[in-house]
């Protein structure tokens, strides 16, 4: 199986997180976008401040590689207003896909109306501008029952407000890759969690982010029903190898 078209090749570390300069961070982003173009990955996933630069690169290369960015990253606790402002700016910079971090903390605190409103407003903004929305639920912070409930909440908001005809444009996504877990527990996609997401998101598609570190795992995720895989090691995976990094 050729997995390239399932891969969202990802670089989301800030300069501080990577202990490098801003210039080196920009170089890393450029390298990632060029690699995505050269290998026909589905998408290059980068931080919002690099969207305009990446769009120009894709345009100059006459490539079909998509540009995606993260919104409310990585905590998800930004106000809905702030997330919408961030998303609008990315749209103005001609992004293709918006990966929102849902306010999973509010969900865990049973602030369901806040979460529903956020999902509605973010999805509406994306769809009104012909963009894809993905909702990151941060599975490492949730129990299996919470994964099921939050996935179903997102599904129901989308179907009730935007119809099944728009379902394929709104994903449920597993993880940011930045959540701090205890005792070495995984902070990215697991097969168990993705099975729950796939089953409860339908007809919405599912994205596995983090935790997919080799070609065999990528294939298994696709066979499970996942249609996108977020990884910082797309090249290694697409060439049948193993990822060196954790995401």
What is the set of active-site residues?
A: 99, 173, 207
Of 77, 212, 196, give the one whose Cα is nearest residue 143.
196
CB of 98 within 8 A of CB of 90? yes
Query: Does a cis peptide bond (omega within 30 degrees of 0) precede residue 74?
Result: yes
Work out the burial of residue 1: count CB atoms within 10 Å of its CB; fewer than 13 is exposed, 13-18 middle, 19 or more buried: exposed
CB of 234 within 8 A of CB of 41? yes
Residue partners of 81: CB distance under 8 A and separation at least 6: none
Of 64, 62, 74, 34, give the one whose Cα is nearest residue 50.
34
Residue partners of 14: CB distance under 8 A and separation at least 6: 25, 47
How many CA atoms are closer than 13 Å to the CA of 35, on its beta-carbon side? Answer: 21
Element (H, E) at 216: helix 215-224
Q: Provide the token pair at 226.
A: 């996942």
Q: Provide the token pair at 53.
A: 């630069």
Residue carrying the six token digits 């060196």? 244
């Amino acid at each position: 199986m050729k997995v390239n078209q399932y891969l969202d090749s990802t670089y989301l570390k800030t300069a501080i997180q990577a202990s490098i300069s801003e210039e080196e961070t920009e170089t890393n982003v450029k390298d990632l976008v060029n690699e995505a173009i050269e290998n026909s990955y589905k998408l290059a996933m980068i931080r919002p401040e690099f969207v305009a630069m990446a769009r120009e690169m894709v345009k100059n290369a006459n490539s079909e590689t998509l540009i995606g960015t993260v919104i409310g990253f990585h905590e998800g606790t930004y106000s809905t207003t702030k997330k919408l402002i961030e998303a609008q700016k990315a749209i103005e910079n001609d992004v293709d896909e918006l990966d929102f971090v849902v306010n999973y903390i509010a969900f865990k605190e049973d602030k369901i109306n806040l979460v529903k409103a956020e999902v509605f407003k973010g999805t509406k903004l994306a769809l009104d501008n012909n963009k894809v929305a993905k909702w990151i639920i941060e599975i490492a912070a949730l129990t299996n029952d919470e994964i099921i409930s939050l996935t179903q909440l997102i599904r129901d908001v989308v179907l009730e407000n935007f119809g099944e005809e728009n379902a394929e444009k709104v994903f449920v996504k597993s993880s940011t890759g930045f959540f701090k877990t205890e005792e070495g527990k995984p902070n990215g996609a697991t097969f168990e969690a993705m099975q729950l997401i796939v089953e409860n998101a339908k007809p919405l598609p599912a994205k596995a982010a983090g935790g997919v570190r080799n070609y065999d795992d990528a294939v298994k995720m696709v066979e499970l029903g996942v249609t996108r895989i977020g990884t910082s090691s797309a090249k290694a995976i697409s060439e049948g190898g193993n990822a060196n990094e954790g995401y």
